[in-house]
Amino acid sequence: MAEPAGCGPLIPPLSETSRPLRQQIFERVRAAGQIPRVQVAKDLGVSPASVTTITSDLIERGLIREIAREGEGGRGRPAVALGVRPEAHLVAGMKLSDREHTVVVVDFAGNLVAGDLIPRRPGLLDLAEILAAAGELLDRVCAKAGIARQDLSAVGLGVPGFVDSAAGEVLWSPVMRDRNVALAACATQALGLPVHVDNDANLVTLAELWFGAGRGLSDFAVVTIEHGLGMGLVINHRIFRGGQGLGMELGHTKVQLDGALCRCGQRGCLEAYVADYALVREATTALNWAHKSGQPESVLLESLYDHAKAGNQAARSIFRRAGRYLAVGLANVVNLFDPKLIFLSGERLRYDYLYAADTLAEMEALILTSGRPPPPIRIHAWGDLLWAHGAAALALSAVSEGLLAPVREVAAQ
């Protein structure tokens, strides 16, 4: 089945009344791609006159437009639909990681304009290096898109680690040397554009919610397996970050008291048994790879996978052990949140031993016995441009919220 046009959550008709009507109308137009006024009124349960008044204002402000619908209308005035004006705003989304930095530019309707990536050597970066990398990424993708940096309305920026998105602060990141960094404010000043930051797992979740198979789901979870183990959660079509903005850290739930050392500094974290550095650490001991300690983790991981595929039992047991721990983590997600669907996402999903049939069967054995089937697991082994798309969704959301917020404030007085 073809993916629907538009971008953003596909919220069922008559299911949301808490958000201001102006915002609901705009978001419905954006999600649909093209939609007649009468359908908007029907979906929201309001009068066509109210929709006409609000959409006329949105058209006047250049946020949406009328689109002629070919083959409809008959005599007289042709039938028209409403759609977001793609050229109204441009945003960039980027993800900074310990392997490569990626970036995309999308228009106001969510269409990809340009994308780029810069490989880098692993290692911690200080704030100045982070800001320099972001500036280089932005200039490269703007050159590809044929625009100036000032043509952008906002930038979404994602990094792994503990990120307070609302405050724009990175408390800890495995790619940053510094802690408690006001990254949004620093990047805003350095780039000359509004910058919004978030945890990279939340960005994958936003990408699924805005552009992927999660658009029509009210509740779902995303578990990311990359250089670490992350999670994002959508509840009632909105991403959930927790009371202090730092929730859903599945990789740092504890599965073993006084267990393996995690890169966060604590012991026994789930990530310390599933992430790539955990697999390489196991392989160094089990396969006697001490002499390979100078090689990049990515090379060692590929070698471990090749050994497993060739039948090496020690290599297979490493993936099997990691898969069992992953099954524990997934079962806990099901028991805690009961999502309709779980996405397993990230480049590491190429290593199919992590989600082999027996691993998923073990997950099913660990969830509550309710007589109901477990949620389906969908594998998305996508690359880093997916994460950058999520960062672009973060920026798009911030721009549209900012444009509509002044109207809400006036209306509330």
The pLDDT of residue 296: 79
The pLDDT of residue 60: 97
- 1-84 has CATH 3.40.50.620 classification: no
What residue ranges do the domains of the chain occupy? Answer: 1-84, 88-206+385-404, 217-383
The pLDDT of residue 72: 55
Predicted confidence band at 301 (pLDDT cuts at 50, 70, 90)? confident
Enter the tokens of residue 268: 């026994």
The pLDDT of residue 409: 40
pTM above 0.75, yes or no: yes
pLDDT, tens digit (0-9, with 9 covering 90-100), for 154-190: 999 999 999 999 999 999 999 999 999 999 999 999 9
Q: Which CATH architecture has domain 217-383?
A: 2-Layer Sandwich (3.30)
pLDDT averaged over every residue in the chain? 89
Q: How many CB atoms lie within 10 A of CB 369?
A: 7
Instruction: Check residues 226 and 391 and name the one with the higher pLDDT.
Output: 391
**3-state SS record for 3-16:** CCCCCCCCCCCCCC
Residue 411 has pLDDT above 70, yes or no: no
Residue 41 has pLDDT above 90, yes or no: yes
Same CATH topology for 88-206+385-404 and 217-383?
A: yes
Report the CATH fold assignment for 88-206+385-404.
Nucleotidyltransferase; domain 5 (3.30.420)
What is the percent of the chain where pLDDT is above 90? Answer: 67
Enter the tokens of residue 210: 């805005």
Could you tell me which of 69, 83, 68, 87 has the C-alpha nearest to residue 30?
Answer: 83
Could you tell me which of 84, 69, 112 has the C-alpha nearest to residue 28?
Answer: 84
- Of the listed ranges 133-147, 238-252, 281-295, the least confidently predicted one is 281-295
Could you tell me which of 10, 45, 40, 4 has the C-alpha nearest to residue 25?
Answer: 40
The pLDDT of residue 370: 84
Instruction: Check residues 61 and 354 and name the one with the higher pLDDT.
Output: 61
